[in-house]
């Protein structure tokens, strides 16, 4: 472990505390809660003790003070504008949606300001707004927009109504003691209780399931329950609605099953989608979204019901999940866009501010988190944000060290996973997960590749402009299904122009890829390999990706071996969605005019053919330039292979898709075959210095030296004439197993899943 103050160590320490007793923070909050839980407010997130501590330090905790000032300016501006609670009308992006959304965000902040600044105007503002909502809510029918499987009242989805209650319950807690008993009674009877019942009892198809939607619902019901001291709501939050019988075959708007196995409630929502490693099956974009209700409700439970030990639940998975989320970001802090994911979402989001602060506050103050908090440059205005601000002020910050990591998927960690290989400025993301719920994509054994936070070979992400009303109300676009989810939209193999599992959710959901080996213990040869046997029945896929650092190469490169074994002849397509400007190919290609479309279905209908060629040498090479660096793919081809340059955007009459490009290898009438490639970053170019440095690939010959059921060997000759050989055992990944293999008259002897060395050694 390189950085002794990294989070993983922190987790260990945290678990140690769990075993050896409670740390001081926990003990303190328990003492508080025992004396105050039913009367003293605030108690949910901000606590009475926290308020006292914060007030004592105000002006001396820079990052907290700065956030406070910003929030105060924001809330003051809203107060000056007056309260507006319009009759609900719109989808997201529309006025009434955005207004109610802004209201709940501001109300939560105003409540906090009342407590910290002790200024009654904020309490009055919250009270007035709540009273307006009380008057409005009791008149409201179901929201007029009909697109959702679970319509809300304030918003078109119960999901957004739940968002509202998660935030507003915090506001209510902050002004609880400011209100008279009658006022509280009025709000609880006419607004909060009916609101909680509506999103739960009246919408069990939304509430009683394992899904990020219901996590929000559970948290909403539970948090208002905690504030109101309503044990029925708290139990409903933790364990779901009892005795509800849902049709197990119905689906939601995204095509996901409503509730296939009958599980429900907050604890089930922790149990199911998180793997023991803390990976959330839908991927980091939705994990980020889901983390807020998980963590904020957990913090509330920890403050008011510490006996539940919620942060220890499932081996401390909620706090592990924060570590995982941070590890699932590139060098700029942006999440790898696995499955449905909007690119650009990052750990600068408000959900991650929450996650980092709560993790720091509850996970024995792991100092690596402080460097992320410092980048975020804001904290929560509560006990946890105060802890972070104090930590930063006291100089406890350490770098958050992102390492190569393998994250297992599935509630028991047995359903594939995601591996990230990191070396120098490079990051390779390799996906061999389960389907990932309704937001999953059909991209078994796919990868994406980054340098310094820039995409080099990209994953498309989702086809949606979240909250931009002009684009289908800001919701998922049909191109998300026709393109983004399809296999051809990803850097993986596509057999016979059909997506994995034929693009069928039910099939995809019953399978996952299987890890063969992950080994990052040698920083110069890091390997991940996984197998997929179900994406195409009768065809077995094994992909192995190795990040290699060689002395003769300026930067690490990636060796990519996709071994295909089938019971019949197929057509295999193998695309690389490179980002940037093509610089050079070692093959001649035609650019057909007029421009035609690659195919008719499964995403192929969206691809223009910009260039077409036959591979006329053993090694096909392609160099491009992106963000000041050169990259070359060298791939083993045969004269029957077709090469395509594709451009996205066909059959896209609303410009919903980006005009991204790919180089694709097509191998027709093949049964067993192995795609072997090296992805090689090299050199640099600056339009300011106009210097092109190391602009040419150093791989002079790439060759499949041996390929059998048991072993695949690849030799790589560089431009100095040195040849290295990589041998993978395809059938036994044991570290202790000894192997012996003769290749071209030379005997190789080694132990473990792979061999890598200079051929003359």
How far is it, in rounded angstroms, from Cα 684 to Cα 191?
Answer: 61
Coil, helix or strand at residue 553: coil
Nearer to its own copies, 25 or 586 (CB): 586
* CA contacts within 13 A on the Cβ side of 242: 5
Instruction: Kindly tell me the burial class for residue 749, based on how many C-beta atoms sit within 10 Å of its own C-beta (0-12, 13-18, 19 or more).
Output: exposed
Which position among 201, 597, 741, 759 is part of the footprint of its own copies (CB under 8 A)?
597
Nearer to its own copies, 78 or 134 (CB): 78
Quote the tokens at residue 127: 């009270």
Query: Which positions are catalytic?
Result: 286, 439
- Using rule CB under 8 A, residue 136 touches its own copies: no
How far is it, in rounded angstroms, from Cα 151 to Cα 9?
Answer: 44
Contacting range for its own copies; rule: CB under 8 A; set: 161-169, 341-349, 404-412, 504-512: 341-349
Contacting range for its own copies; rule: CB under 8 A; set: 22-30, 176-184, 343-351, 516-524: 343-351
Which position among 659, 668, 735, 746 is part of the footprint of its own copies (CB under 8 A)?
659
**Parallel, antiparallel, or unpaired for β 673-682 and 746-751?**
unpaired
Q: Judge whether 91 and 474 are in contact, CB under 8 Å.
A: yes
Nearer to its own copies, 141 or 655 (CB): 655
Q: How far is the CB of 93 from its own copies (least distance, A)?
A: 6
Count other C-beta atoms under 10 Å from residue 72's C-beta: 19
Which position among 59, 82, 141, 594 is part of the footprint of its own copies (CB under 8 A)?
594
Nearer to its own copies, 435 or 629 (CB): 629
Coil, helix or strand at residue 327: helix
Q: How far is the CB of 687 from its own copies (least distance, A)?
A: 3
Measure the N-to-C terminal CA separation of the chain; round to a whole number of Å: 31
- Using rule CB under 8 A, residue 608 touches its own copies: yes
Nearer to its own copies, 112 or 648 (CB): 648
Contacting range for its own copies; rule: CB under 8 A; set: 175-183, 265-273, 340-348, 495-503: 340-348
Q: How far is the CB of 551 from its own copies (least distance, A)?
A: 17
- Using rule CB under 8 A, residue 661 touches its own copies: yes
Nearer to its own copies, 151 or 621 (CB): 621
How far is it, in rounded angstroms, from Cα 100 to Cα 94?
Answer: 10
Per CB under 8 A, contacts with its own copies among 574-593 are 581-584, 589-591, 593
Which position among 144, 344, 537, 538 is part of the footprint of its own copies (CB under 8 A)?
344
Which position among 346, 481, 674, 722 is part of the footprint of its own copies (CB under 8 A)?
346
Per CB under 8 A, contacts with its own copies among 97-126 are 98
CA distances from 430 to 459, 476, 585, 643 (A): 11, 25, 26, 24
Nearer to its own copies, 312 or 340 (CB): 340
How far is it, in rounded angstroms, from Cα 600 to Cα 107?
Answer: 50
Q: How far is the CB of 318 from its own copies (least distance, A)?
A: 23
Q: Judge whether 573 and 598 are in contact, CB under 8 Å.
A: no
Q: Indicate the helix (H) or strand (E) that contains 750.
A: strand 746-751
- Using rule CB under 8 A, residue 342 touches its own copies: yes
Coil, helix or strand at residue 420: strand
Site size with its own copies, rule: CB under 8 A: 56
Q: If we measure between CA atoms, which residue out of 268, 273, 250 comes closest to residue 440? A: 273
- Using rule CB under 8 A, residue 647 touches its own copies: yes
Q: If we measure between CA atoms, which residue out of 178, 223, 228 comes closest to residue 199? A: 223
Per CB under 8 A, contacts with its own copies among 202-231 are none
Q: How far is the CB of 90 from its own copies (least distance, A)?
A: 12
Q: Judge whether 419 and 543 are in contact, CB under 8 Å.
A: no
Which position among 300, 652, 678, 716 is part of the footprint of its own copies (CB under 8 A)?
652
Nearer to its own copies, 266 or 630 (CB): 630
Q: Judge whether 480 and 463 are in contact, CB under 8 Å.
A: yes
Kindly give the residue spans of alpha helices, DSSP state H, lying in 377-461. Answer: 383-393
Nearer to its own copies, 436 or 472 (CB): 472
Instruction: Kindly tell me the burial class for residue 708, based on how many C-beta atoms sit within 10 Å of its own C-beta (0-12, 13-18, 19 or more).
Output: exposed
Which position among 20, 146, 180, 470 is part of the footprint of its own copies (CB under 8 A)?
470
How far is it, in rounded angstroms, from Cα 44 to Cα 64?
Answer: 20
How far is it, in rounded angstroms, from Cα 560 to Cα 716?
Answer: 12
Which position among 117, 140, 331, 695 is part of the footprint of its own copies (CB under 8 A)?
695
How far is it, in rounded angstroms, from Cα 370 to Cα 633?
Answer: 39
Coil, helix or strand at residue 703: strand
Nearer to its own copies, 310 or 699 (CB): 699
Q: How far is the CB of 615 from its own copies (least distance, A)?
A: 18
**Parallel, antiparallel, or unpaired for β 570-576 and 661-670?**
antiparallel
Q: How far is the CB of 366 from its own copies (least distance, A)?
A: 23
Q: How far is the CB of 483 from its own copies (least distance, A)?
A: 15
Which position among 653, 669, 720, 736 is part of the footprint of its own copies (CB under 8 A)?
653
Q: How far is the CB of 338 from its own copies (least distance, A)?
A: 16
Q: How far is the CB of 337 from its own copies (least distance, A)?
A: 10
With tokens 């995204």, the residue in question is: 254
Coil, helix or strand at residue 473: helix
Q: If we measure between CA atoms, which residue out of 134, 133, 176, 163 comes closest to residue 46? A: 176
* CA contacts within 13 A on the Cβ side of 454: 14
Q: How far is the CB of 606 from its own copies (least distance, A)?
A: 11
- Using rule CB under 8 A, residue 696 touches its own copies: yes
Spell out, one character per residue from 62 to 101, where the chain touches its own copies: x when CB under 8 A holds, - when not: -------------------------------x----x---
What are the DSSP calls for 85-120, one per residue? -PPP---TTSHHHHHHHHHHHHHHHHHHHHHHH--H
Per CB under 8 A, contacts with its own copies among 428-467 are 465-467
Q: How far is the CB of 603 from its own copies (least distance, A)?
A: 16
How far is it, in rounded angstroms, from Cα 203 to Cα 158?
Answer: 8
Q: Which residue(s) pair with 755 in the sheet?
A: 727
Which position among 221, 226, 366, 625 is part of the footprint of its own copies (CB under 8 A)?
625
Per CB under 8 A, contacts with its own copies among 697-736 are none
Spell out, one character per residue from 675 to 694, where the chain touches its own copies: x when CB under 8 A holds, - when not: ----------xxxxxxxx--
Task: Name the residues that contact its own copies, by CB under 8 A.
Answer: 93, 98, 342-346, 348-350, 465-471, 474, 581-584, 589-591, 593-597, 608, 610-611, 623, 625, 645, 647, 649-653, 655, 658-659, 661, 685-692, 695-696
């Amino acid at each position: 472990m390189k950085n002794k103050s990294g989070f993983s160590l922190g987790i260990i320490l945290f678990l140690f505390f769990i075993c050896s007793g409670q740390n001081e923070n926990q003990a303190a909050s328990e003492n508080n809660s025992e004396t105050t839980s039913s009367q003293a407010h605030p108690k949910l997130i901000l606590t009475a003790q926290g308020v006292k501590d914060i007030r004592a330090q105000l002006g001396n905790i820079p990052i907290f003070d700065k956030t406070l000032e910003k929030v105060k300016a924001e809330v003051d501006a809203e107060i000056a504008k007056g309260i507006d609670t319009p009759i609900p009308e719109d989808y997201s992006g529309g006025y009434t949606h955005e207004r109610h959304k802004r209201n709940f965000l501001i109300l939560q902040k105003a409540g906090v300001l009342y407590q910290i600044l002790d200024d009654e105007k904020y309490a009055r503002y919250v009270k007035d707004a709540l009273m307006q909502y009380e008057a409005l809510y009791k008149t409201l029918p179901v929201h007029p927009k009909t697109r959702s499987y679970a319509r809300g009242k304030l918003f078109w989805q119960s999901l957004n109504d739940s968002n509202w209650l998660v935030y507003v319950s915090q506001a209510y807690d902050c002004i609880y003691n400011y209100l008279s008993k009658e006022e509280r009674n009025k709000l609880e009877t006419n607004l909060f209780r009916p609101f909680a019942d509506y999103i739960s009892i009246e919408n069990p198809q939304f509430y009683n399931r394992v899904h990020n939607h219901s996590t929000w619902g559970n948290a909403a019901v539970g948090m208002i329950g905690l504030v109101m001291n309503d044990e029925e709501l708290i139990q409903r939050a933790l364990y779901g609605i009892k005795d509800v019988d849902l049709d197990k075959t119905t689906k939601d708007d995204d095509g996901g099953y409503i509730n296939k196995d009958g599980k429900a409630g907050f604890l089930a929502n922790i149990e199911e989608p998180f793997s023991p490693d803390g990976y959330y099956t839908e991927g980091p974009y939705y994990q980020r979204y889901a983390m807020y209700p998980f963590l904020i409700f957990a913090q509330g439970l920890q403050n008011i019901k510490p006996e539940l030990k919620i942060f220890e639940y499932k081996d401390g998975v909620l706090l592990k999940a924060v570590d995982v989320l941070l590890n699932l970001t590139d060098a700029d802090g942006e999440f790898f866009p696995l499955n449905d994911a909007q690119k650009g979402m990052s750990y600068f989001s408000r959900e991650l501010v929450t996650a980092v602060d709560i993790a720091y506050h509850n996970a024995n103050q792991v100092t690596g988190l402080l460097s992320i908090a410092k980048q975020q440059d804001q904290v929560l205005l509560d006990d946890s944000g105060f802890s972070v601000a104090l930590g930063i002020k006291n100089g406890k910050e350490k770098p958050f060290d992102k390492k190569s990591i393998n994250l297992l998927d599935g509630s028991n960690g047995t359903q594939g996973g995601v591996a990230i290989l990191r070396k120098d400025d490079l990051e390779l993301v390799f996906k061999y997960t389960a389907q990932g719920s309704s937001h999953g994509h059909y991209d078994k054994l796919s990868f994406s590749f980054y340098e310094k936070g820039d995409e080099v070979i990209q994953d498309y992400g989702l086809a949606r402009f979240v909250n931009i009303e002009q684009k289908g109300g800001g919701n998922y676009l049909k191109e998300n299904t026709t393109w983004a989810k399809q296999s051809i939209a990803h850097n993986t193999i596509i057999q016979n122009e059909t997506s994995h599992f034929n693009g069928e959710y039910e099939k995809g959901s019953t399978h996952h890829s299987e890890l063969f080996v992950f080994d990052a213990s040698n920083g110069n040869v890091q390997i991940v390999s996984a197998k997929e046997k179900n994406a195409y029945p009768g065809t077995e896929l094994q992909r192995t990706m190795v990040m290699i650092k060689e002395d003769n190469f300026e930067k690490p490169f990636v060796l990519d071996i996709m071994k295909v074994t089938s019971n019949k002849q197929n057509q295999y397509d193998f695309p690389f969605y490179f980002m940037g400007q093509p610089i050079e190919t070692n093959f001649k290609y035609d650019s057909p005019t007029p421009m035609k479309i690659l195919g008719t279905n499964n995403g192929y209908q969206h691809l223009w053919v910009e260039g077409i060629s036959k591979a006329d040498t053993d090694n096909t090479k392609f160099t491009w330039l992106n963000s000041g660096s050169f990259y070359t793919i060298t791939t083993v081809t045969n004269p029957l292979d077709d090469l395509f340059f594709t451009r996205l955007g066909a059959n896209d009459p609303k410009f919903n898709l980006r005009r991204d490009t790919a180089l694709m290898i097509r191998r027709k009438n093949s049964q067993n075959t192995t795609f072997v490639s090296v992805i090689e970053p090299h050199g640099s170019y600056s339009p300011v210095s106009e210097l092109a440095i190391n602009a040419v690939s150093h791989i002079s010959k790439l060759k499949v030296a041996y390929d059998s059921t048991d072993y695949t060997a690849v030799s790589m000759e560089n431009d100095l004439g040195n040849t290295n050989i990589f041998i993978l055992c395809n059938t036994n990944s044991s570290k202790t197993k000894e192997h012996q293999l003769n290749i071209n008259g030379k005997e190789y002897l080694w132990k473990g899943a792979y061999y890598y060395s200079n051929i003359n050694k």
